[in-house]
Amino acid sequence: MSSIITKSYFTLPETKIVPAPPEDTDTVVIGVYKNELRQSKDINKISEKIKDIFYICEKANFDGDSGKFLYILNKPIIVLVGLGDRKESDIFWSRENIRRASALGCTEARKLGAESVTLCGFEEKVREALEGAFIGLYRFKKYSKHEHEREKEVKKLFLVSDKNSEKIAEFVRIVCEAQNFARDIINEPGNVINPSTLAEIGSAIAQEYGLFCEIFGVEEMKKMGMHGVLAVGQGSAVPPKFVHIWYKPEEIKSSIKIALIGKAITFDSGGLSIKTNQNMQHMKADKSGACAILAAMKAIAQIKPNIQVHGIYATCENMPSGTAQRVDDIIKMMNGKTVEVVNTDAEGRLTLADAISFANKLGVSKILDMATLTGACMVALGEFTAGIMGNSDEFKRLIFETGLEVGDKMWILPFDKDMEEKIKSPVADLKNAGDSYGGAITAGMFLSEFVEKGIDWCHIDIAGPAFVKKKIGCYTVEGATGFGVRTAVELVKKIQIQNQ
């Protein structure tokens, strides 16, 4: 079975912006704000045919609150979904409520057998409505045949709007298809995706979408001094690879270059500091950062911004064996700094450090890395929120605000000079892990040691939201979320606008 894919296994429905619901649509999903049923023009229109519609809503306790839904077996079937409070002041929830309502309506319509769905009442939030539908309908069906997979797929999606929203719809389609593509690769197990195949996917994406690509093997990494990557990968039967893909506009209008780096551990056993079985489960998702960056590069190639963007990932499998790195080993990193290994399960930061050193040499002004780096970040922020750290308050704020807008929930964590001693080693420049307190922050502080002066850098610890173990919001199935794809793409757009 081929593991080299360039498009998501999940096909998005054909999508059209229409002035009114088509007559042959199977289901009409109507978004309603809280306590605004009687103000809804869509429900008032339905009341002409279903006279007791408001009574039905009252009996079912449907008031438009977020997370509530009600379906009416009519022809077409009507699914009412709550949009929450119209005056919601929180930037994240004001948009996320729309995404979740759209996802809920579309998946409920699918359960009812709908192959064509029309979204009404979302005119003010076309982007969020489409994001919710495209992300919510996703399923990873490659290997299983569960009962729910007998459901028909939604093949046509119509969104009612009197605005010219075709360009928005096309943009959302590109980005969400890329996000679902990332979810597919993350959901693939370690016996399918390994360092070799993940590098091949990068090469195939570059070839199909007109990106530049170079892939380095072990000998080339030795010459460049990437001993952090080599140390992590030396315990596996599959050697590590270093992947650099980049987008260069045909007409360069800006000297700005940005690097996007992702952690790419295709399976993380913990190495000789081996994880428990419970903690090892789902460690196929330790490549989530790289998959998000790879998907973002795929979208960027189609959107064609006017700035150069570099995508970088060092892909390894962290395995215990007779050749694996040991606790107490000392590694000389690409930038010349030495690192004492005190925990082989703190491996991702070693690969990211060399990737950052590589990015330093590309003449970039900004670096963003994403990584499922620490369980400590989940302890601090919960499993649904990523942690942002970095050396530039302005850059951190930009990423934080971008995440809120596009639906990637994040929070800024502070670096603390009083914690620097935690990563200092008596026998080397640094050690690769601190103690049990502030683990997410000390991991970020470790990475900061490899960023050259003059470069704005941010690190996003996505350990929690990269992979959900239960349905949450738009993520209507357990598994990979593709967290960070929309943030990375939108960030590139914003940086382009700032430098026009």
- What is d(CA 198, CA 236) in angstroms, rounded to the nearest whole number? 15
- What is d(CA 84, CA 220) in angstroms, rounded to the nearest whole number? 55
Catalytic residue among 86, 173, 275, 397: 275
326 belongs to the catalytic site: no
Give 3-51 as a DSSP string: ---SS-SSPPPEEEEESS--TT-SEEEEEEETT-TTT-HHHHHHTTTST
- Nearest by Cα to 21 from 49, 1, 2: 49
Catalytic residue among 34, 349, 366, 422: 349
- What is d(CA 232, CA 319) in angstroms, rounded to the nearest whole number? 8
Give the contacts of 68 (CB within 8 A, at least 6 positions apart): 61, 62, 81, 82
349 belongs to the catalytic site: yes
- What is d(CA 430, CA 451) in angstroms, rounded to the nearest whole number? 14
- What is d(CA 85, CA 101) in angstroms, rounded to the nearest whole number? 12
Task: Assess contact for 364 and 259: CB atoms under 8 A.
Answer: yes
Tell me, what DSSP letter sits at residue 472?
Answer: B
Task: Assess contact for 272 and 347: CB atoms under 8 A.
Answer: no
**31, 67, 71, 445, 472 from 62: Cα distances, Å:** 12, 10, 10, 49, 21
E strand intervals along 391-466 = 410-412, 430-431, 456-461
- Nearest by Cα to 317 from 367, 358, 280: 280
Give 227-265 as a DSSP string: HHHHHHHTTSSS--EEEEEEE--SS-----EEEEEE-EE
Query: In the structure encoding, which two tokens stand for residue 234, read together?
Result: 């030396």
- Nearest by Cα to 316 from 208, 235, 394: 235
Per DSSP, helices labelled H in 112-194 are 126-136, 166-187
Pairing of strands 14-18, 156-160: parallel
Burial class (CB in 10 A: 0-12, 13-18, 19+), 33: buried
- Could you identify the residue written with the tokens 């979208």? 299
Active site residues: 275, 349
